[in-house]
Amino acid sequence: MPSEQHTNIKVAVRVRPYNVRELEQKQRSIIKVMDRSALLFDPDEEDDEFFFQGAKQPYRDITKRMNKKLTMEFDRVFDIDNSNQDLFEECTAPLVDAVLNGYNCSVFVYGATGAGKTFTMLGSEAHPGLTYLTMQDLFDKIQAQNDVRKFDVGVSYLEVYNEHVMNLLTKSGPLKLREDNNGVVVSGLCLTPIYSAEELLRMLMLGNSHRTQHPTDANAESSRSHAIFQVHIRITERKTDTKRTVKLSMIDLAGSERAASTKGIGVRFKEGASINKSLLALGNCINKLADGLKHIPYRDSNLTRILKDSLGGNCRTLMVANVSMSSLTYEDTYNTLKYASRAKKIRTTLKQNVLKSKMPTEFYVKKIDEVVAENERL
């Protein structure tokens, strides 16, 4: 069975252009993209009073720790003029090939609220996001291989909100997680069989309409939940009848800013605290994987339990760290870059899935029309 040593996590940073609020306020750019893989993080110490009014903590506290200017290297740095299409071509199109060759793959977007995660993952009609472009490509490639291989495709879309796992396609939950020989199983989760990219994208839209969204001070469009869109594919070689099951996961993480920065109280505060718990657990897993440790604390949160086979281990992972270039968000930007550079250090061995992981037994329980009809009744 082929097995190779690989850099199985790629970390890209995406810098977004100024938004209207940033343009209206006194601020400057603290990020300079040097080339395709390096950036300079340069908060200007001298002008901190002027530029950093309203900052969440004294600016100097942070710069003291980080020695002012920092040059950082990643697998790829995307500047403000790079499009979703650019990210797709360079980062996720190769993952589609890997999936079809039997590797679990996942893409997740990380960053503070407003940094551009949803723009990157979902995009808009004018700028289709990575999920849209990747799914189109997946089905084009499936079509092209149809003579020699049979593909059974199923989709699930989960949300982790306050540690509750919800099924976004059927608007049901909370679902329980349990462990079995194949890893973590989401109890009661039905996959929906899919026959075209259009159907897959229809499910994506349906799930999105069920996401838990609350406006916060930071961004009226913000989502306080983690959304996990997973495509499960059973590949059967027509000649030999060899089967393998692979999974492509697209994860739009909740905002990584601290609970304190959303001025949360009551329910809102609890959301913030619990998002931190999940992201903290994710950060701990990343740190331990980066240090090459054996015990990885996946069990510490539901997000990391679900992502267990999507991080390290037998999986190729792309992390897109989204940041704004504005000095107004320097603290979030610094924290995101720090998080991303830890992730960059993860290196593990990769194995193809051959007859290893089973498709959940519930695979064909819910037909797409049933899901749609159920939702129309809601």
Cα–Cα distance between 108 and 311 in angstroms, integer? 10
Cα–Cα distance between 65 and 97 in angstroms, integer? 42
Which tokens in the block code for residue 256? 């990584």
Amino acid 216 reads T
| 361 Cβ neighbours under 8 A, 6+ residues apart | none
For 221-235, give the DSSP string. Answer: T-B-SEEEEEEEEEE
Q: Is 111 annotated as a binding residue?
A: yes
27 binds, options ligand ADP, Mg ion, none, Cβ within 5 to 8 A by partner type: none
Q: Is 129 annotated as a binding residue?
A: no
* Residue 61 binding ligand ADP, by CB under 6 A: no
* Residue 119 binding ligand ADP, by CB under 6 A: yes
Rg (CA), the chain: 21
Query: In angstroms, what is the minimal distance from the CB of 275 to Mg ion?
Result: 12
Phi, psi for 50 (deg, rounded to 5): -70, -45
* Residue 113 binding ligand ADP, by CB under 6 A: yes
Of 9, 12, 16, 160, which lies in the binding site for ligand ADP, with binding defined by CB under 6 A? 16
Integer CA distances (angstroms), 110 to 98, 304, 321, in order: 22, 14, 5
**Nearest residue to 359 (alpha-carbon basis) of 243, 234, 242:** 234
The piece of 57-65, 115-123, 313-321, 357-365 that touches ligand ADP (CB under 6 A) is: 115-123
Helix (H, G, I), strand (E, B) or coil at 13: strand
The piece of 27-35, 108-116, 195-203, 288-296 that touches ligand ADP (CB under 6 A) is: 108-116
119 binds, options ligand ADP, Mg ion, none, Cβ within 5 to 8 A by partner type: ligand ADP
**Nearest residue to 255 (alpha-carbon basis) of 209, 227, 222:** 222
* Residue 216 binding Mg ion, by CB under 5 A: no
Of 63, 92, 222, 326, which lies in the binding site for ligand ADP, with binding defined by CB under 6 A? 222
Q: Is 264 annotated as a binding residue?
A: no
Of 8, 27, 118, 322, which lies in the binding site for Mg ion, with binding defined by CB under 5 A? 118
Q: Is 266 annotated as a binding residue?
A: no
Which residues contact Mg ion (rule: CB under 5 A)? Answer: 117-118, 223
Binding residues for ATP: 111-118
Which residues contact ligand ADP (rule: CB under 6 A)? Answer: 16-17, 19, 111, 113-119, 219, 221-222, 255, 322
